[in-house]
């Protein structure tokens, strides 16, 4: 995916392992001076994405970045940290232990050679790699002058999706995210808002690599219930094993409107739990 962006890095230094499945990735970024609200949202979104098999990418910085990495690790999923210095260093230094866990469950990536210090000018440059590795970038909290907005701008220029989490109208930390929403970023209130928007890309990824999403739950030991919302659980219970059933029958059993039901079924299909056969309706997968 990096080869598709303008000015791709000529070389990447990697500590850990990059996998084919990391092409199904979403970046979560935001301010270092995050509020408790922002930290909680970033952690929750990352945990839910990683629990469903999506790789979470961020920049190892304090605040939103660290919360995103921690959320992905909590789910037992994969996370990638893109840093603005050489891999012989860790910045900030208090994230050494976090960096060790990231390298074991994903990788740390840099275009800067070993020994390169964390210079201020390096970080805007590394932001294009965060967005370039991702299908979409989620900005959780960002003041007007924030590196996260630079990442969002790169994502727009690269033709990737941009998402923003709204915050209190009085919060300085949400001024940048509100500006992104005015400029057309997709509003995120729950993880389904991300998955539904990226569904075509994720389906193409699944088709290309034949990577089932459901086994990511089994592989990491995450409870199936933690990957399903209440609506998803209700719909999943209404979908039969073996022979398929039509949309109308599932709608009657779940009392959901067809438009909402289709959205929920799409989410279940992305997670590898439901499949649709032309003319035969929906059935459970596997």
Residue after which a domain boundary falls, among 193, 219, 239: 193
* Strands 25-29 and 55-58, sheet pairing: parallel
Residue that the structure tokens 């919060």 belong to: 171
How many domains does the chain fold into? 2
Give residue-wise pLDDT tens across range 237-269. Answer: 899 887 788 888 898 899 888 777 877 887 788
- 48-58 as b/e, with b when 16 or more CB fall inside 10 Å? bbbbbbbbbbb
For position 203, what pLDDT does the model report? Answer: 65
* Strands 274-277 and 186-187, sheet pairing: unpaired
**187 and 239 assigned to the same domain:** no
For position 280, what pLDDT does the model report? Answer: 63
Residue 220 domain-assigned (yes or no)? no
Residue 217 domain-assigned (yes or no)? no
**184 and 81 assigned to the same domain:** yes
Residue 213 domain-assigned (yes or no)? no
For position 227, what pLDDT does the model report? Answer: 63
For position 271, what pLDDT does the model report? Answer: 74
Q: Cis peptide leading into 188, omega within 30 of 0?
A: no
Residue 126 domain-assigned (yes or no)? yes
pTM confidence score? 0.77
In CATH, what number is assigned to the domain containing residue 269?
A: 1.10.10.10
**172 and 256 assigned to the same domain:** no
**100 and 183 assigned to the same domain:** yes
**238 and 176 assigned to the same domain:** no
- 40: tokens are 């909680």
For position 129, what pLDDT does the model report? Answer: 98
**67 and 171 assigned to the same domain:** yes
**243 and 189 assigned to the same domain:** no
Q: Tell me the residue range of the domain where 66 lies.
A: 2-193
Residue 158 near residue 132, CB atoms below 8 Å: yes
Residue after which a domain boundary falls, among 178, 193, 208: 193
Residue 126 near residue 111, CB atoms below 8 Å: yes
Residue 223 domain-assigned (yes or no)? no
Residue 216 domain-assigned (yes or no)? no
**234 and 179 assigned to the same domain:** no
In CATH, what number is assigned to the domain containing residue 174?
A: 3.40.50.450
Residue 202 domain-assigned (yes or no)? no
* DSSP letter string, 161-185: EEEE----TT-GGGHHHHHHHHTTP
**244 and 167 assigned to the same domain:** no
For position 217, what pLDDT does the model report? Answer: 38
**156 and 267 assigned to the same domain:** no
**140 and 55 assigned to the same domain:** yes
**55 and 139 assigned to the same domain:** yes
Residue 48 domain-assigned (yes or no)? yes
Mean pLDDT by 10 residues, the chain (286 residues): 92 94 94 96 93 91 98 94 96 96 97 95 96 97 94 96 95 96 94 83 59 40 55 88 83 84 80 75 81
Residue after which a domain boundary falls, among 142, 176, 193: 193
């Amino acid at each position: 995916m990096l080869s598709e962006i303008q000015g791709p890095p000529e070389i990447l230094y990697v500590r850990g392992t990059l996998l084919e499945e990391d092409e199904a990735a979403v970046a979560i970024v935001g301010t270092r001076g995050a509020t408790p609200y922002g930290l909680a949202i970033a952690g929750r979104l990352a945990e839910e994405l990683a629990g469903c098999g999506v790789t979470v990418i961020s920049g190892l910085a304090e605040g939103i970045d660290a919360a995103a990495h921690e959320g992905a690790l909590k789910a037992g999923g994969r996370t990638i940290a893109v840093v603005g210095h050489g891999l012989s260093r860790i910045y900030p230094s208090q994230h050494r232990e976090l960096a060790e866990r990231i390298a074991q469950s994903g990788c740390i990536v840099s275009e800067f050679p070993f020994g390169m210090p964390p210079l201020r000018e390096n970080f805007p440059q590394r932001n294009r790699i965060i967005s370039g590795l991702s299908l979409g970038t989620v900005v959780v909290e960002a003041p007007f002058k924030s590196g996260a907005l630079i990442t969002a701008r790169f994502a727009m220029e690269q033709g990737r999706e941009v998402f923003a989490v709204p915050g209190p109208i009085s919060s300085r930390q949400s001024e940048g995210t509100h500006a992104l929403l005015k400029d057309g970023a997709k509003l995120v209130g729950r993880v389904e808002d991300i998955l539904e928007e990226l569904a075509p890309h994720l389906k193409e990824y699944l088709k290309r690599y034949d990577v089932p999403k459901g086994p990511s739950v089994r592989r990491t030991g995450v409870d199936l219930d933690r990957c399903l919302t209440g609506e998803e659980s209700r719909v999943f219970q209404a979908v039969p094993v073996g022979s398929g059933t039509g949309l109308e029958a599932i709608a009657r059993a779940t009392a959901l409107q067809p438009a909402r039901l289709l959205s929920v079924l799409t989410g279940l299909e992305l997670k590898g739990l439901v499949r649709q056969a032309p003319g035969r309706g929906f059935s459970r997968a596997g």
